Amino acid sequence: MLEFKKIEISDLDIIKKYMKRQPFRACDFTIFGIFLWADYYNYTYCVYEDTFFLKGRSDGKICDFAVPFGSLNTKTAIGYIKDYCNENNITPRFYFVPESALDFFENANVNQMVGWSDYVYSAEAMKTLKGKRFSKKRNRLNKFSKKCKFKIGHKCRFESITPENINRAREFFGEYLSEYKKDDPHFKVESELIYRAFDIFFELEQTGGILLVDEKVVAMTIGEAIGDTLYVHVEKALRQYEGAYEAINHAYANKYATESIKYINREEDMGDEGLRQAKRAYNPVFMINKYEIFLD
């Protein structure tokens, strides 16, 4: 039945194939989220009957699993995980379970994961910033644009990340880290993964951009599109350039939120109050709450 294997670079095409089929709109089910975080979460995977199974950390007694998805009925697939755990004498814990998947779990101990809810926005609203609720963001963007003449060929410009300029994005990130120091283990791991993302950026089928002022990179973003959702995995800017975050956000949305994109997922705040305020300021249309679930 289920046989799990370590995620390696040779598995990337399989990861991409199934992540593009995920039905949850959650950032945990993305190419970036699965492949780059595989070592941190000790991810192993299995494809059985055209269904994707993901196993995570284990302490020998309790083992983490993601909600399986694919051709199998989800409850049937969960049953296969229960059988696997019974055979191996471990207790399954389902982690990062999106709220839309809760109905697949009956008679379960359900706990919301505080700080891990995804912020999801209207793509059209993020592209236009129309209306009173976006007045502060629009004012900051306009201030930045006026100061920098934010037009192609002028003082400021946005460039998509390409093989020709990706090293400039990498160098910017190093400068950002030298100025923005944060004593947080998760931030350190994330920073290491961003460097790795640069190394295999195009193999991962990521998109991104850099924002330049007088030829100096002052902001950078990385993301990917799956289905009707554009995911923003990374967004960094130098603080001395007021409005740079709004500018890179606006430019990336207008470049990559194509007609087929309805939503933009800007991921979690991880309990960081500054991130929470920043993400709320863009007026999410809904949240993707996530849960840990123990089966009885």
pTM of the predicted model as reported, rounded to 2 decimal places: 0.95
* The two structure tokens encoding residue 124: 């059209």
- What CATH architecture does domain 5-117 belong to? 3-Layer(aba) Sandwich (3.40)
Nearest Cα neighbor of 85 from 61, 68, 66 is 61
| CA distance linking residue 51 with residue 275, whole number of Å | 35
CB 276 within 8 A of CB 117: no
| CA distance linking residue 277 with residue 275, whole number of Å | 5
Taking the CA atoms of 293, 43, 187 and 161 in sequence, report the sign of the dihedral they define.
negative
Parts of the chain belonging to CATH 3.40.630.30: 5-117, 118-267
Q: What is the pLDDT along the chain (296 residues), one digit of tens a residue?
A: 899 999 999 999 999 999 999 999 999 999 999 999 999 999 999 999 999 999 998 888 999 999 999 999 999 999 999 999 999 999 999 999 999 999 999 889 999 999 999 999 999 999 999 999 999 999 999 889 887 765 545 578 999 999 999 999 999 999 999 998 777 788 899 999 999 999 999 999 999 999 999 899 999 999 999 999 999 999 999 999 999 999 999 999 999 999 999 999 999 999 889 899 999 999 999 999 999 999 87
Q: What is the dihedral of CA 86, 88, 90, 96, to 10 degrees?
A: -90
Domain 118-267: give its CATH code.
3.40.630.30
Q: How far is CA 255 from CA 46, 132, 173, 230, in A?
A: 35, 24, 21, 11
